[in-house]
Amino acid sequence: MINDHNNMPRVYAVIGGWDYEGEDFDSLRLFDCHSAAVVYMKDLEENQGYDYSKLEMRWVEMIPALSEIQEKARIAERMALLNTADGITTPW
């Protein structure tokens, strides 16, 4: 299935880093506005002392947490039905 990105929100992720230490996740920020993300990216390098900064656009896929929890509960129920007390799997 191909994702229809036209209906999906997007965010701009910006993170700062140092040449030898890598990215600093304390600097990670998400923006819905590209121009605000660019301003923050420049601020990281010019005012906050980072050697570099990265900006990436990401699509946001909203997945309801409740449905994921329900699916995990269904799988756990099925697994419980298959396993007996002595560890022998019985399919009925």
pLDDT per residue over 25-35, tens digit each? Answer: 999 999 999 99
pLDDT of 84 > 50? The answer is yes
pLDDT digits over 9-27, tens only?
Answer: 899 999 999 999 999 999 9
Whole-number pLDDT of residue 5: 67
Number of domains the chain is built from? 1
What is the domain range of residue 14? 7-62
pTM for the complete prediction?
0.63
Residue type, 9: P
In a domain, 31, yes or no: yes
In a domain, 77, yes or no: no
In a domain, 57, yes or no: yes
Mean pLDDT, the chain, rounded, equals 83
Whole-number pLDDT of residue 15: 96
In a domain, 81, yes or no: no
Measured CA to CA in angstroms, residue 43 lies from 13, 24, 29, 49 at distances of 14, 14, 12, 9
The residue among 21 and 6 whose pLDDT is bigger is: 21
In a domain, 68, yes or no: no
Q: What is the mean pLDDT of residues 39-50?
A: 96
In a domain, 51, yes or no: yes
Q: What is the mean pLDDT of residues 43-63?
A: 92
Residues 86 and 57: their CA atoms lie apart, in Å, by 52
